[in-house]
Amino acid sequence: MKANQISTGKFVNDKEVIAVELSNTKGTYVKIFNYGTIINKFVVKNAKGEDQDIVLGFDDFDGYISKEYLSNYPYFGSIVGRYANRIKGGEFTIEGTSYQLPKNNGDDCLHGGLQGFDQKVWDIVELTESPNASVTFHYYSFDGEEGFPGDLAVQLQFTLTENDELILTYQADTDEATPINLTHHSYFNLAANSNDIRSHVHQMNASNWLEQDDNYVVTGKLIPVDGTHHDFRKGKTFAEGWDEENGYDQTYVLDKTYGELTLASKTSAVDSGLTLSIYTTEPVAHLYTAKYTDVKNGKDGKSYGKFSAFCVETQHAPNSLNIPAFPSTILQPGEVYHQTTIYKVSK
């Protein structure tokens, strides 16, 4: 097991951007930038014994901060916070006090605001090689950042095991009641030679999905998947019965006991023989098949377009702040926020 850190020679807001490389004895290799904790590479051996990178991104760091990329920003491989997905009207109330966040997606707040955790340089606080290669990042979000109350200290650890598991462990604490709903936004493509994920076979243990308004904001209504193209419980290709124009951009309520670490989804590609299983302690998973992705000059000069990847964003339900019936996403002083998500690759 190895863990190394390498300077990119780049600085953002006077803080150095560092690349951390984690590897195991099987040849699996993960590269993570401390900027946005971006998973830049996730290289595994496919069924043919070939090295295959299963995440979208860029060959070097400059791609992630280019004007062209940020103009149609897809959050490639980054953490999302303080609050994943959309908050209706960018508004919420805690203990009688109302807060207004930036409206950076129509009339709503998306993924933490104008500059969320995805565009911050995190501190590297620990690097270890035994028993597994791991890195721990830390970010301190000050009271009022993007309109959120309270000073919030966040820690995110990535651990690569010998079983080809990349374990993401999140922790946070605050000095004032504040919303928190973190996720990671990696774009996966398991195919060996295709920029399209239509033929990927996807299984998700969810009997309901969450209704959304015209701007994809969760309303609070649960809709059964029975008899619809949203039913992935037995597994099927993404393209089987889907809306060819829109693909998937919905939140699914996982069939699980709240807080337990269980299987959320399993996705496979025939040509590579690779399967990605995602485990989480979180109650929902947002499935997105990259409808709005339009990125030029990605890895090896590739262009990434519509349906070039899929995301499974494990989290609490979007807009929970405004839906009292949903599990609370308010962190109180003295409490510790904790969640775990695991990306396990197998053949």
pLDDT value, residue 193: 87
Question: Per the structure block, which two tokens stand in for 321?
Answer: 């702040």
Model confidence over 234-243: pLDDT tens digits?
Answer: 999 999 999 9
Q: What is the pLDDT of residue 158?
A: 98
Q: Which residue in 21, 165, 313, 316 is the catalytic one?
A: 313
Which residue is it, tokens 């999140």? 170
In the predicted model, is pLDDT for residue 94 greater than 90?
yes
Confidence of residue 205 (pLDDT cuts 50, 70, 90): very high
| pLDDT tens-digit readout, 55-81 | 999 999 999 999 999 999 999 999 999
Please say if the pLDDT value at position 273 is more than 90.
Answer: yes
CA gap 210, 220 in Å, rounded: 7
Query: What is the tens place of the pLDDT at every residue in 261-271?
Result: 999 999 999 99
Quick one: average pLDDT of 330-343?
A: 98
Q: What is the DSSP secondary structure assignment for residue 305, as one 8-state letter? A: -
Please confirm, yes or no, whether 211 is among the known catalytic residues.
no
pLDDT digits (tens, 9 = 90+) for 286-333: 999 999 999 999 999 999 999 999 999 999 999 999 999 999 999 999
Catalytic site residue from 111, 185, 202, 230: 185
Tell me whether the omega of the peptide bond preceding residue 82 falls within 30 degrees of 0, making it cis. yes
> Which residue do the tokens 């990125």 mark?
295
Side-chain-side CA neighbours of 283 within 13 Å: the count stands at 16
Identify whether 138 is a catalytic site residue: no
Say which CATH class 2-346 falls into. mainly beta
* Mean pLDDT score, 143-170: 98
Q: Is the pTM of this model over 0.95?
A: yes
pLDDT score of 174? 98
Using one digit for the tens of pLDDT, what is the confidence trace for 181-190? 999 999 999 9
Q: Where are the domains of the chain?
A: 2-346
